[in-house]
Structure 1
Amino acid sequence: MTSLESMDLDFVRLGSTGIETSELQFGTWRFGKETETGTVEIDEERAYELLDAYEAAGGRYIDTADVYGGGKSEEWIGNWLADRDRERFTIASKIYWQIRDGDPNSAGNNRKNLRHRIDAILERLDTDYIDVLYIHRWDDETPTRELLRTLDGFVRDGKVHYLGASTLRPNAWKVAKANEIAERKGWEPFSVVQPRYNLVDREIEGDYLEMSRHYGLAVCPWSPLGQGFLTGKYTRDDGLVGESRVAESSRFEQSYLVAENFDVHDELDAVAEAVNATPAQTALAWLMHRDGVTAPIVGARTVEQLEENLVAATIDLDEGQVRRLTEAMSGPYYRL
C-alpha cells in the first residue's frame, strides 16, 4: 500500500474562487465526540496523529464545526496549527446548532448568533480568519437578507474569506435565491456547498448539481462512504452484527442495509477487484471522477483508516468503470 509520506495530494480549484484546495479534504467531526458510553471517539493525542498524517500526505484543507466535540475540534486544530505556517492551510468551520439551553438566539443564522459565534471560532482556532465559513443548516426563521448582510460583513472585516452552505440537498433553490440577492446587493455570495453524496446517496444528482455548476460553486461532499456502508464492513446476511451504535442502528439499517444498496456494493466490489483497491478506495475514486465534484471530505478514526482513504487519490478509473458504478443505482438521475 502507498505510504502517506510518499503521497502528495494534488490541489484543485475551489469552485470559482481564487484559491485551490486539496483534492481530498480532512473532516474532524469525530474529534472530541463522546459516545453513549462516555468514551471519546478521537481524543486529543489521536487527533494530532491524524492531522500529522494528513499533512504528511500533502493535505492542506481541514474541515470542522463549532459544535464538533463541543468546541474541542477547533481548539485542537488551533493548537496543532500553532507550530505550523497558518497560511499553508485552508480551514473551514460551520455555525448553526444551538449551543445554550433555553436560549433560542443561540441557534440558527440570526445576526446575534452569527456575530457571537464567529469570534468564538476564531478564538478557539487561535487565528485571525477562517478560509470558509459554512452555515451548517438553512434557517427559515432568519430573513435571507439578514443572513447575507451579516456574512458579507465578516468577509469585509477580514474574519472570513469565502462562504459556504452545508447539507441543503432539497433546497438548491434557497442557495440560488441567496446568490441572486447577493449579486444584486453587491454582497459576498456562497462559493462552496457541502452536501451528502456517495454511491448510494444520490439525491443531489439533478437540480442541485446543475445549480452548483451554474453558479460555479465548489461541491465538497461529506459522508463519501455512506457512514461506512461502502467500506465492505456489512453483509447481506450479517447486517449490524457487532455494530456499536445501538441508538442509530434502526435508522442506519433502514437507510443503508437494503437490497438495492447491496446490489450497488456488488458492482463496487467487482470494480475494486479489477483496479486492485479496497471498496472504500474505489467508492472515493468514483466520487473524485464525478463531474461537478470538487473534493470529497474524508474522515478516519485511525491513521491506518486515513491512509486507506487518501490512497484513493492514486486510483485511476477508466470511463467504463465510472459508468458501471454510476449506473449501478437505478433512478431518474442516476444515469447522468
Structure 2
Amino acid sequence: MEYRRLGASGLHVPALSFGAGTFGGRGPLFSAWGDADAGQARRMVDMALDAGVTMFDSADVYSDGESERVLGQALKGRRGRALISTKAGLPTGEGPHDAGTGRARLITAVEDALERLGTDYIDLFQLHAFDAGTPVEETVAALDGLVKAGKLRYIGVSNFAGWQLMKSLAAADAHGWTRYAAHQVYYSLVGRDYEWELMPLGHDQGVGAVVWSPLGWGRLTGKIRRGRPLPAGSRLHETAQWGPPVDDGLLYDVVDVLDQLSEETGKTVPQIALNWLLRRPTVASVIIGARDERQLQDNLGAIGWELTAEQVARLDKAGARTAPYPYYPYEVQEGFARLNPPLVPAAE
C-alpha cells in the first residue's frame, strides 16, 4: 500500500481508505448501500488491514450512528492499527441542536461519536456540510478546542464550496487555530467538477482530497452498458435520487473507454476507474466501499500498477466537459492559461 501525506499536515494516510457506509444498514438509503453486521464488518476490516488499508471512514448519519458503532466493534482490540475518520454536521433529529456545526452541537457530536466508536480519540474529524447559520469563527474555534483536548487529532471538511473552505482557513490563520487538513469530496471519471476550483484551492492551501463515491455512485462498477437497462441488482434503483446526477451520454462515453482498457490491461472496470483517480493532483486517499468481501477484494486490485500516459489521456478525453464561467477561459484561452497553468491539462 502507498501512504501519502494528507495535504500539508503530518498525517500519512493510505492511498485507499475503507468506507463504512455499508455497515449497519438502517434507513432507506443506507440499507440499500449494505447491511454488514459486526461479524461481517470484522472480516472486511481484517482484509483491509492485511492489505494496508488502515483508514476507515464513517459518519454520525450513516445508519443513524450504527455504522460508527459497528466499525468500533470491528476494530476492537486493534485500534492502534487503524485511523478512524468520521463526520458530523448534517441533521440527526428535529431538535434545535440536532444539526449544524455550532459549538454545543460539535462538542456533543464528538462525545457521541467517541462512545459509539469505542475510542477516546478520532484521527480525522470532518464537518459533513457547511453550516451557513453559524459563524465560521465559532466552528473553527470549537474544533481547535477539541484538538487541544486530545479528542481530535486532525480536522477537515466535506462538500464545501471554495469560498466556504477559504473563509474557514482564513479564520484559522487569523487566530492561530488548527487548520483543516482534508476536504472529503465527490470526484470520479463522470464527476470532475472538483478540478475546476476545489483542486487548485487544495493545492494552494495544502488541503488534501479524500474522495467519496469514486465509482460515480455505482455507475462505474462494470455493470452498466450503453443500450442496456440497469441490472436488476443495481443499487441505483433505490439510491439514484440521492446521488450526484450524471448525463447518460457522458457515462456511456466513459464506460466505452473503460471497457477498452479493461481488455488491454486485464483489470476490471472499477480497478481502472480507481487507478485513474489515484494519479490526480491533491488526492490523498480514495474511499472504497464494499457490500461484501468479493467486492472489497476487487477494489483492492486498483493499486500496485499504473495506467500508461496514453491510457490516462483517453480517459481524460472521454470524461472531459467544458468548465462553467469563470473557469472555462483558463481552459480555452492562452492568456488566461499562461497566468494560471492548470494542474490537470485539458483533454485534447
Map Cα deviations across residues 33-57 of structure 1 (whole Å, 9 max, x no partner).
2354978632222211211111121
1:99 corresponds to 2:89: no
Q: 1:27 to 1:146 in 2, by over 3 A?
A: same
Map Cα deviations across residues 5-50 of structure 1 (whole Å, 9 max, x no partner).
xxxx221111111121111000001211235497863222221121
Q: Distance in 2 between matches of 1:249 and 1:106?
A: 26
1:34 corresponds to 2:33: no
Superposition map of 1:1-336 within 5 A: 9-34=1-26, 36=28, 41-84=35-78, 86-101=79-94, 103-168=95-160, 171-242=161-232, 243=234, 246-249=237-240, 255-256=245-246, 258-333=248-323, 335-336=345-346
Q: 1:233 to 1:16 in 2, by over 3 A?
A: same
Amino acid at match of 2:40: R
Q: CA deviation at 1:156?
A: 0.8
> Given the two structures, how large is their TM-score scaled by the length of structure 2?
0.87
Q: Distance in 2 between matches of 1:272 and 1:209?
A: 28
Map Cα deviations across residues 124-160 of structure 1 (whole Å, 9 max, x no partner).
1111110111000101011111111111111111110
Q: Distance in 2 between matches of 1:54 and 1:283?
A: 19
Whether the 8 Å contact between 1:15 and 1:216 is mirrored in structure 2 is yes
Amino acid at match of 1:157: A
Aligned length: 323
Q: CA deviation at 1:207?
A: 1.3
Q: 1:288 to 1:244 in 2, by over 3 A?
A: closer
Q: Provide the secondary structure at the position in 2 that maps to 1:256.
A: coil
Q: Provide the secondary structure at the position in 1 that maps to 2:157.
A: strand
Q: Provide the secondary structure at the position in 2 that maps to 1:226.
A: coil
Amino acid at match of 1:148: V
What runs of 5+ residues in structure 1 fail to find an aligned partner? 1-8
Q: Distance in 2 between matches of 1:134 and 1:93?
A: 6
Q: Provide the secondary structure at the position in 2 that maps to 1:26.
A: strand
Greater mean alpha carbon deviation, residues 268-277 or residues 33-42: 33-42
Q: Provide the secondary structure at the position in 1 that maps to 2:22.
A: coil
Q: Provide the secondary structure at the position in 1 that maps to 2:195.
A: coil
Q: Distance in 1 between matches of 2:214 and 2:225?
A: 19
Amino acid at match of 1:75: R
Q: CA deviation at 1:88?
A: 2.5
Amino acid at match of 1:72: E
Counting aligned pairs with the same residue, the percent is 34
RMSD: 2.0
Amino acid at match of 1:95: A
Map Cα deviations across residues 71-115 of structure 1 (whole Å, 9 max, x no partner).
12211222222211x2321111100122233x1221011111111
Map Cα deviations across residues 215-271 of structure 1 (whole Å, 9 max, x no partner).
11111110000111111211222232414554545676x933612210111112112
Q: Distance in 2 between matches of 1:56 and 1:183?
A: 39
Whether the 8 Å contact between 1:231 and 1:280 is mirrored in structure 2 is yes
Amino acid at match of 1:162: Y
Amino acid at match of 2:127: I
Q: Distance in 2 between matches of 1:217 and 1:255?
A: 26
> Given the two structures, how large is their TM-score scaled by the length of structure 1?
0.90
Whether the 8 Å contact between 1:224 and 1:297 is mirrored in structure 2 is yes
Map Cα deviations across residues 188-207 of structure 1 (whole Å, 9 max, x no partner).
11110011000000111121
Q: Distance in 2 between matches of 1:255 and 1:236?
A: 17
What runs of 5+ residues in structure 2 fail to find an aligned partner? 324-343
